[in-house]
Structure 1
Amino acid sequence: MDLRIFTEPQQGATYDDLLRVARATEDLGFDAFFRSDHYLAMNVEGMPGPTDAWLTLAGLARETSRIRLGTLVTSATFRLPGPLAISVAQVDQMSGGRVELGLGAGWFEAEHAAYGIPFPPLRERFDRLEESLEIITGLWGTPAGRRFDHRGKHFALSDSPALPKPEQQPRPPIIIGGAGKKRTPALAARFADEFNVAFAPVDTATEQIGRVRAACATAGRRPETMTFSAALVLCCGRTDAELARRAEAIGREVDELRENGAAGTPGEVVEKIQRYREAGVGRIYLQTLDLSDLDHLAVVAADVMPHLG
């Protein structure tokens, strides 16, 4: 079971805060450091303000050496697909081939309004996401010396040299997630290396994984070529007092976290993760909200990770 650290920097974090967490992630043996791609805090002031996901990952690419780096997930509304393909390929080169691209349609209307980003209706956002996936994979997959063209409803590329190429070949892994019952599984079957179910109960995750497996079969793809993952908020403590302190620090209740997250004693966290493993999940993103508490990660590394194989 891969354990990955997943952060929400829009809630209030500087680059230096993220660097400390990323270095702890690497030193403690976790598989990856991921971050959200948001520009507006949710239910908090979010000082000192947002950091850009791909600028952050570019910096971390040069200041780490082992861990995977990526987004969960980049909003397709934030960046044109051609420039995004360039940015991700460059960060992949800078990291020595450790980048993964999580890409979604975008959902948080308020942050689009706050920073002047167009926010089309849901159907159009999914259309744009599909075209973005076509363009990004098309640019990365075009052989060196060849040109790439795309004529779509929302984007047109003409005579592109399709450069630069990412370090990873044939391309960096692509992650798609969501709860949609039809279009989301179909897009995952077509484009994704990994499908993520975020903050969902085990039975809901099981149902959505089943839909993605069925979509793979319909598309002529072997379902076992897809990695399935889940994201869960982390709150782990060796004692009741430690657990309560960590829950209070993120503004949550212990009982609610035990029900909905990877929360409780280390043994309880192991048990919860094992339930997702039985549902077909092979990777867990631990949403880490208090970025000042590096001891939290140390507890998981010492008392949870060794029991998951």
Structure 2
Amino acid sequence: MDLGIHYAQFAHPDWEHRLTERLTETARVADQGGVSLFTVMDHWFQMVSFDGPFQPMLEGYTTLGHLAAITERVRLSLLVTGVTYRHPGLLAKTVTTLDVLSGGRAMLGLGAAWYDREHAGLGVPFPPTAERFERLEEAILIARQMWSDDDGAFDGEHYHLAETICLPKPIRGSVPVLIGGGGERKTLRLVAQYADACNLFAGDIDQVRHKLEVLHGHCDALGRDYDAIEKTILTGTDPSQDLDGFLREMEAYAALGIGLVGFMPPTPDPVAFTTMLVSDVLPRLADI
């Protein structure tokens, strides 16, 4: 099983002076220590569950561009960008640029968006749920067309592009798409139809098992190879509290097909937490 770092909070002690230093050093430790995926959130306001909008929050793709310059191996993604945050043509161009400049290490993490307060706060339209999912599907189609040899028009229900030119192309020809969320009727169907990876919260293994069964059903209905989709989970657990117990839990997740577990550094010192993960957890996790 692989290890990921989801850097979700910037409000560590003395963040006003050390925010960049801590982020940079955490990413370097992760990169040099063998972490597979480094992600940040794509929000303009910090989430209420992390003390809300008056806590610091960096813009996602600018942050990933900085991380691309100071790392060499780790994959980079937002977990995840809401489809409402950027016009899909510009989003595809942005993630392509990240992929080219990082040497082919970008992923395109996507979701339907949910944080209405930050949209209202910064004056960004926030369509109803059904429309956001329609826009999500069109955004994926636009990105794929921009990464193809077809540079013609895209004429969708919500987006209309006269030319889908995107040069240079991504290093690998396209960028892997990760869709976050566990909605059974829409989100997991989109995963089955379009995504290279999915991400689920690891709160309850029985719930994750059920979500994967639903995903498998969508794959069967669409003729998609279920095993071709990378399955990832996100946890807020501190494994140092009970490493053996944590590893037993990860063995159960691996048996379900989960190939990567992402951690949100829960302590005031993300560098020390990440150092602990790569020195104590990753070697044993790799054997699962």
How does the TM-score come out when normalised to structure 1? 0.85
Specify the code of the residue in structure 2 equivalent to 1:275: A
In structure 2, the residue matched to 1:271 is 248
In structure 2, the residue matched to 1:252 is none
- Deviation of residue 289 (structure 1)? 3.6
- Residue 35 (structure 1) aligned with residue 12 (structure 2): no
Specify the code of the residue in structure 2 equivalent to 1:214: G
Paired residue secondary structure (1:197): strand
Specify the code of the residue in structure 2 equivalent to 1:110: R
In structure 2, the residue matched to 1:95 is 102
- Deviation of residue 48 (structure 1)? 6.4
- Residue 26 (structure 1) aligned with residue 31 (structure 2): yes
CA separation in 2, counterparts of 1:297 and 1:10?
Answer: 15
In structure 1, the residue matched to 2:172 is 168
CA separation in 2, counterparts of 1:42 and 1:18?
Answer: 18
- Deviation of residue 291 (structure 1)? 5.9
Paired residue secondary structure (2:212): helix
User: Would you say the 8 A contact 1:149–1:160 is kept in 2?
Assistant: yes
User: Would you say the 8 A contact 1:33–1:70 is kept in 2?
Assistant: yes
CA separation in 1, counterparts of 2:54 and 2:25?
Answer: 18
How does the TM-score come out when normalised to structure 2? 0.91
In structure 2, the residue matched to 1:76 is 83
CA separation in 1, counterparts of 2:214 and 2:251?
Answer: 21
In structure 2, the residue matched to 1:246 is none
| Aligned partner of 1:124 among 125, 131, 141 | 131
User: Would you say the 8 A contact 1:202–1:279 is kept in 2?
Assistant: no
In structure 2, the residue matched to 1:182 is 185
Paired residue secondary structure (2:138): helix
- Deviation of residue 303 (structure 1)? 2.3
My pick for the range that moved more, 83-92 or 198-207, is 198-207
In structure 1, the residue matched to 2:237 is 234
In structure 2, the residue matched to 1:85 is 92
CA separation in 1, counterparts of 2:252 and 2:11?
Answer: 29
In structure 1, the residue matched to 2:69 is 62
User: Would you say the 8 A contact 2:79–2:109 is kept in 1?
Assistant: yes
User: Would you say the 8 A contact 1:18–1:291 is kept in 2?
Assistant: no
User: Would you say the 8 A contact 1:236–1:296 is kept in 2?
Assistant: no
User: Would you say the 8 A contact 2:84–2:113 is kept in 1?
Assistant: yes
In structure 2, the residue matched to 1:157 is 161
CA separation in 1, counterparts of 2:84 and 2:246?
Answer: 35
CA separation in 1, counterparts of 2:11 and 2:208?
Answer: 26
- Deviation of residue 31 (structure 1)? 1.3
User: Would you say the 8 A contact 2:2–2:36 is kept in 1?
Assistant: yes
Paired residue secondary structure (1:304): helix
CA separation in 2, counterparts of 1:218 and 1:104?
Answer: 22
In structure 2, the residue matched to 1:280 is 257
Gaps of 5+ in 1: 238-263
- Give the root-mean-square deviation of aligned CA atoms: 1.8
- Deviation of residue 72 (structure 1)? 0.9
Alignment of 1:212-231 (within 5 A): 212-231=215-234
Pair 1:226–1:293, CA change in 2 (3 A): closer
Equivalent pairs counted in the alignment come to 279
Output one character per residue of 1:261-308: Cα deviation in whole Å (capped at 9) or x when no partner: xxx322222122222112221111112243624222222222222222
| Aligned partner of 1:115 among 105, 118, 122 | 122
User: Would you say the 8 A contact 2:42–2:81 is kept in 1?
Assistant: yes
Output one character per residue of 1:97-143: Cα deviation in whole Å (capped at 9) or x when no partner: 001111000011111112111111110111111111111111112x2
Specify the code of the residue in structure 1 equivalent to 2:6: F
Alignment of 1:133-144 (within 5 A): 133-141=140-148, 143=149
Q: Which has the higher contact order (CA 8 A, sep 6+)?
A: 2
- Residue 301 (structure 1) aligned with residue 278 (structure 2): yes
